[in-house]
Structure 1
Amino acid sequence: MPNSVASFIICTILGFGIGFAGFELANKNDEASTETPTETATNTNTPTDDHEPEETEQPAPETVSASSEILNAKGCLSCHAVSSLDLDGGATGPDLSQAFTGVEDKHGKPLDEFLKEPTSAVMSSVISGSPLSDDEVQQIVDALQEASEK
C-alpha cells in the first residue's frame, strides 16, 4: 500500500511538471510567432512609405497588432479572447472586451490594481507565476481600454 501511494505522488508531480513545461513551451512558441509577423510588417513598411494610400491603411492594423502583442506575449490569449479587437483566444477565461470597466465592478479594484494583485484564485496563481512589470500592466490596461471603447 505505501508503494502505491508513493507511486501516485511521484506520478502526480511528474504530470504537473510535464504539463507546466508544455505550457511554457507553448507560450514561447506563441511569442515567437507574434514576433515574426511584426518583423515582416516592419520590413514591408519601408518600401511602401512612398505610397500614401498604403500608409493610411496601415495604422489600424498596427494598433490592433500593438494591442495583441502584449496580450500574446504575456499569455493572456491562451485563456481569454478579446472579441471587440477580433482577437481569438482560449475559452477557459471570460472575454476581456469589457474588462476595463468590468473588473472594478466584479473585483472591487481598478484593472491596473487587479493585474498587480488579483483577487481571484486563478489569476493570482497565473500572475504569481509570471509577474507583470508596471510597463506591461499599463500596456494591457491601454489595450483593454481600447477594447472597451469599440
Structure 2
Amino acid sequence: MKNWIIIFIVSALVGFGAGYFIFQDKEEADGTNQTTTQEKESKQENVVKEESKDSNAPKTATTSDGGIFSEKGCISCHSVSALNIQGGATGPDLSKAYDNVEGKHGKPIKEFLKVPTSAVMSGVIEGNPLTDEEIEKIVEALKKAAEK
C-alpha cells in the first residue's frame, strides 16, 4: 500500500511539472505571457546596443548589412556568419539560405518567407508576418550573404 502512495505522489508531481512547462510555452506562443512582444524586442535592442558599444564585440546587424534581421527578430534564433551577424544558435546559420531553402523546403525563399513549410517558422511568421518590402530586404541580404 505504501508503494502505491509514493508512486501516486511522484506521478502527480511529474504531471504537474510537465503541465506547467507545456502551458507556460503555450502562453508565450499565444502572447498571453506577462512579458509582451514589445518588451522582448526592447530587451533585444538593448543587447544589440550594448554589444555595439564594445569595439571588440562581434559585429551585429546594422541597417547597411542586414538590419532587417534584428528589426524582425531573426537574430534571436539565427546568425548570418557571411555578413558577420551574430545571433542565436537555435536556428541554422542563414548564410547559405538563399541557395538552400528551395531544395530543403520545396519553394523559393520569397514564397517560404510568406508561407513557411516548417512548423517552427510557420508559428514565427504567423505571429509576426513580413511585409513584401521586408521580404525583399531579407532576400537581398541573404543573396549578398550567399555570394560571399
TM-score normalised according to structure 2 size: 0.68
Alignment partner, residue 53 of structure 2: none
Where do 1:45-64 residues align within 5 Å? none
Alignment partner, residue 125 of structure 1: 123
Alignment partner, residue 27 of structure 1: 41
How far residue 26 of structure 1 moved from its aligned partner, in angstroms, is 2.4
TM-score normalised according to structure 1 size: 0.67
For the 8 Å contact 2:66–2:138, the answer to whether it is kept is: no
Where do 1:12-91 residues align within 5 Å? 13=23, 16-17=26-27, 20=31, 21=33, 22=35, 24=37, 25-31=39-45, 65-91=63-89
Where do 1:86-125 residues align within 5 Å? 86-125=84-123
Aligned letter for 1:28? S
Percent identical pairs in the alignment equals 44
For the 8 Å contact 1:97–1:144, the answer to whether it is kept is: yes
Q: Distance in 1 between matches of 2:89 and 2:21?
A: 28
Measured against aligned partners, the alpha-carbon deviations of 1:67-89 in whole angstroms (never above 9, x if no partner) come to: 33100010100000100011111
Task: Mark the CA change 1:12 to 1:141 in structure 2 (over 3 Å): closer, same or farther.
Answer: same
Q: Distance in 1 between matches of 2:90 and 2:115?
A: 20
Aligned letter for 1:17? E
Q: Distance in 1 between matches of 2:25 and 2:36?
A: 12
Q: Which has the higher helix share?
A: 1
Q: Distance in 1 between matches of 2:94 and 2:115?
A: 18
Secondary structure (helix, strand or coil) at the match of 1:66 reads: coil
Q: Distance in 1 between matches of 2:43 and 2:84?
A: 21
Q: What 5-or-longer segments of structure 1 have no aligned partner?
A: 37-60
Task: Mark the CA change 1:140 to 1:35 in structure 2 (over 3 Å): closer, same or farther.
Answer: farther
